[in-house]
Structure 1
Amino acid sequence: MQKVARLYRMVMPKHVCPYGLKAKWLLERKGFTVEDHPLTTREETDAFKAEHDVATTPQVFIAGERIGGYDALRTHFGNPPKADGETSYTPVIAVFAVGLGLALSLSWWSLGTPMTIRAAEWFVAFSMAMLAMLKLQDVEKFSSMFVGYDLLARRWVPYSYLYPFLEALAAILMAGHLLPWLSIPVAFSIGTIGAVSVFYAVYIQKRDIKCACVGGSGNVPLGFVSLTENLAMMAMAIWMLARYALA
């Protein structure tokens, strides 16, 4: 039996509703034949909203029943969007996955194999750099979250503004093995302070707060992820110190 859905969406010369396009794509992906009804003027759109007593478009109808907009359609198909404030590790997974991919690709190209010590170094450096970049998108928001748990930032607020710049600097220098006399102490210092701060806040005080590790836009709980970030910086600094000491 053919599955048919009616879709009403805004399609105007200066604006094509992105959620309307996504709703059409989702319906077609689910095997529906879409009866597409473009709303091409503001007057036509307002008349449609008044007729169906809805505040927004697009609107989807299946078997004569109004499903609603794109989010409602996703929910109808069993894939509801994340609620505001819902915990998500997606930003962190994306950072580490891209960092790992870059490191393996660069190692393969430059050294002939992806599985090298240099790839591991690049992975840490690239991940640090991307995490710093996320923080630098909104330093003010990051600092507000950071002072909530970092022990040094709570005593000296300017550190909360300096931190993402220091992390980015250490990452960039470590990626190219540049100025180790600067990158090693910076990475070890901020990593150690961060690790102690996270351990104290989460495992001693038992606080349930958001991590500033991906900047102010994410909703990653403070704990394992931030502790791993800081321990990785410490390990990278120790590794590079040992490497240069033995060279």
Structure 2
Amino acid sequence: MKHTYTITGMTCNNCKASVEKYLSEIDHVLEVSVNLEIGEVEVKMDKHISTEILQKALPKKYSISEKKEKNVFTSSSMAAMPMEEEKSKLQQLKPLLLIIFYIATASLLLHYKDWSWSAFMLDFMGLFYIVFSFFKMLDLKGFPESFSMYDPLAKRIPFYGKIYPFIETALGLMFLMRVEVHIALMITLVVLGITSIGVTKTLLDKKAIRCACLGTALKLPMTEATFIENAIMIVMAILMLIGMN
């Protein structure tokens, strides 16, 4: 079932990410979607949760009150729901897929005359980090909250979420400039390994949250695509490390 609530106290994307984080951590909450512009939050749950419980989960600056309720399990909507959700998911993932496609294409074009797998992978990883860190830089205040919703280290150490975009930028430059590549590969395995653990747990728990891989500027859902993009980078890092030994 879905409940729509009116919420006050939100002033920016950081507030939006904070509300989504706190409400998503409540038991039986499956999905949280906040509309900052109109001050509403839609909560999907598998068991009724009182407004009082939702309010207690939020910081005092936010006030939440129920607006309306609609049951998504009615017979009239059951047949159309899977197709609509799948279409919506693909539409939301379009920016991510396009960015990865352009990064891969650019990496290929850089070496099509003098092909080298190692050079291709280094440039792919470098461009990947630079482009993805750029989107995170667009909202440095809101990113840490969104990132901490699924990254275990960012959840325990908030400062890590604040410096993560800069870590990605540094790694991107190291790969593109071929500076201390071995160290950059090791750091890649650590940071993406940690993130992948959180992504995997989120997917197994079937929590519908926003993916912060492209910051908060683009509303991307957390899906298997996030795990796959991390897996690609991890596999490349492992292959590069093996090749360097």
Structure 1 residue runs of 4 or more that deviate by more than 3 Å after TM superposition? none
Distance in 1, Cα, partners of 2:217 & 2:125:
22
Counterpart of 2:217 in 1: which secondary structure? coil
Letter in 1 for 2:94: T
Corresponding residue of 1:88: 92
- C-alpha displacement of 1:241: 1.6
Instruction: Compute the RMSD of aligned alpha carbons.
Output: 2.3
Unpaired runs of at least 5, structure 1: 1-84
**Greater relative CO (CA pairs within 8 A, separation 6+):** 2
Deviation of 1:235 (Å): 1.9
1:100 corresponds to which residue?
A: 104
User: Residues 86, 234 of structure 1: CA spacing in aligned structure 2 closer, same or farther, 3 A cutoff?
Assistant: closer
Q: Secondary structure at the match of 2:214?
A: coil
Distance in 1 of aligned mates of 2:110 and 2:228 = 23
| 1:1-247 equivalence runs, <5 A | 88-109=92-113, 111=114, 113=115, 116-203=117-204, 205-245=205-245
| Higher Cα radius of gyration | 1
Partner amino acid for 2:104? L
1:31-72: per-residue Cα shift (whole Å, max 9, x none)? xxxxxxxxxxxxxxxxxxxxxxxxxxxxxxxxxxxxxxxxxx
Displacement, 1:86?
Answer: 9.9
Structure 1 residue 181, shift from structure 2 partner: 4.0
Q: Tell me: CA distance 1:132–1:108, structure 2 relative to 1, closer, same or farther (3 Å).
A: same
TM-score w.r.t. length of structure 2: 0.58
Deviates more, 1:119-128 or 1:156-165: 119-128
In the alignment, is the contact (CA less than 8 A) between 2:151 and 2:199 conserved in 1?
Answer: yes
User: What is the identity, as a one-letter code, of the residue corresponding to 1:229?
Assistant: E
Structure 1 residue 96: deviation in Å?
Answer: 0.9
Q: CA deviation at 1:117?
A: 4.3
- Asked if the contact 1:86–1:219 (Cα under 8 Å) also holds between the matched residues in 2, the reply is no
Structure 2 distance, partners of 1:146, 1:170, is 18
TM-score relative to the length of structure 1 = 0.58
Paired with 1:229 and 1:129, the residues of 2 have a C-alpha distance of 15
